[in-house]
Structures are given as structure tokens and as C-alpha cells.
Amino acid sequence: MNAKQAAGYRAAELVKEGMTVGLGTGSTAYYAIEKIGEMVASGLRIRAIATSKASEELAAKYNIPLVPAAEVDRLDIAIDGADEVDPDLSLIKGGGGALLREKLVAVQSDRFVVIADSNKKVAHLGQFKLPIEIVPFCYEWTLRLLETRYNVPIEMRMNGNELYVTDNGNYIADASFGKIDIPKGLSDELKATTGVVEHGLFVGIAHTVIVGYEDGRTEVI
């Protein structure tokens, strides 16, 4: 068992009969979905909302029943990966481009459980490029505004020769902050910026982090 699998499987144990479950995106969330799929095959009855088209497909493959958002008020639990986790359980997410749906689902959940291999633990957020989802209309203006305001390198995410397009039809700008001193301040500032749809800072949202290690151990924070 590898570190991601250990974290994903441990988180899946938190899913109980009758729950409404948010399914994350990425290679760690994959293992949680796989395990939940096995539990469903063994008779567990749950319903789920996926945070990306890729995770929707995975859920369908494992016969995990997906439910339209209109039929859900709150989710009991959401399980998702992260790119960086700091000691306050603040996160950078969005390496896989699903940050908007991931945040929508996380904030609607009674318990947001983050699963990560131990390499994701950091003292300060910001080494990983912060994904910022921006609207395509006049995206060059938004990019310029962010570059001018923060004076850090910011790259438009690409998919080959084309701009990367999220499941929501937007673009992603990846910002190299290096070290983010005040995650909450930056989070609020980006959120208030016209042209920015969402960003990958998750501050005060995670309830639990399950860290997986290569020897199969897990640590719950």
C-alpha cells in the first residue's frame, strides 16, 4: 500500500450508511473513491456528489450513486486531496484544476476530510503554485492586475498549445508566491478581485487531515 492509498482508504472508513458524500479529485481521492466503491458493492447505501467530470466518471465506474445538487441540502462528509497542507490545516488545492467545485462541495459539508501523502505537509503555504481560476473574458487584464499587485511570476495553465479550460469553462493562472505569509488575507483579497472566480487557498475549511506514509501508516491531524 502506498501513502496516497493509505490516506484514501482510511478516509473511506469514515463513510457510513445513509451519508451524502462529496467525492474529491486527483490521485489520492482516486483511492478513497475506489474504496467507497468497494463498500457500495458490499451493500453500503450512500449518495454522492463529485467535484469533477473525472471523479463523476470514476464514481459511475464503481456504481456509486450520484445525486443532483438540487436534491442535497448539506453533505455529511467530503473527502479530497490537497497540494499543500500547513499546520493550521490551511491548504493549497487545485493542482488538478477542480478547485471551484472542490471548494463548493467542501464548504457545504459537515466534515471536510483532506487526504494527503506526507510530502504535502509544509510549514508555510506557497511553494506549490497557487491556482487562480479566472474568467476567459478579458483574462489578460485579470492576469496583468494580479501580476502588478503581487509582483510574482504568474503563468496561464496550458493544455498543450491551448489554454487549459476547467470543467466550468474558465482558465487557470498559477501564481508562484514562494511563501504566503497570511493565507487568510490573500484568500480574501483574491476572492474580492473582479475576474477571479475562485482560488486554491482553502483557509478554515478543512476539519481533519489524514496523512499517509509510504509504509502504509496514517496520521490524523
Applying CB under 6 A, does 113 fall inside the site for ligand 5RP?
no
CB of 71 to ligand 5RP, least distance (A): 24
Asked whether position 174 contacts ligand 5RP by CB under 6 A, the answer is: no
**Which triple of cell numbers denotes residue 15?**
463513510
Is 126 a binder of ligand 5RP (CB under 6 A)? no
Annotated catalytic residue within 84, 102, 133, 198: 102
Do 133 and 196 contact (CB within 8 A), yes or no? yes
Q: How far apart are CA 70 and CA 43, in angstroms?
A: 25
Using the rule CB under 6 A, which residue among 56, 80, 133, 198 binds ligand 5RP?
Answer: 80
Instruction: Please give the distance of CA 84 from its chain centroid, rounded to a whole number.
Output: 10
102 belongs to the catalytic site: yes
Among 20, 28, 55, 142, indicate the residue that binds ligand 5RP (CB under 6 A): 28
Find how far residue 108's CA is from the centre of its chain.
13
Binding segment (CB under 6 A) for ligand 5RP, from list 62-70, 77-85, 138-146, 181-189 = 77-85
Element (H, E) at 77: strand 77-80
Question: Count residues contacting ligand 5RP (CB under 6 A)?
Answer: 18
Instruction: Work out whether 8 is an interface residue with ligand 5RP (CB under 6 A).
Output: no
* 33 near ligand 5RP (CB under 6 A): no
Strand pairing report for 112-117 and 77-80: parallel
Q: Letter for the amino acid at 83?
A: D
CA neighbours closer than 13 Å in the CB half-sphere of residue 101 = 24
Phi first, then psi: what are they for 95, rounded to 5°? Answer: -55, -35
Separation CA 202–CA 183 (nearest Å): 9
- Report if residue 95 touches ligand 5RP, rule: CB under 6 A: yes
Which residues contribute to the annotated binding site for substrate?
Answer: 25-28, 80-83, 93-96, 120
What are the residues binding ligand 5RP (CB under 6 A)? 24-29, 80-83, 93-99, 102
Which residues contribute to the annotated binding site?
Answer: 25-28, 80-83, 93-96, 120
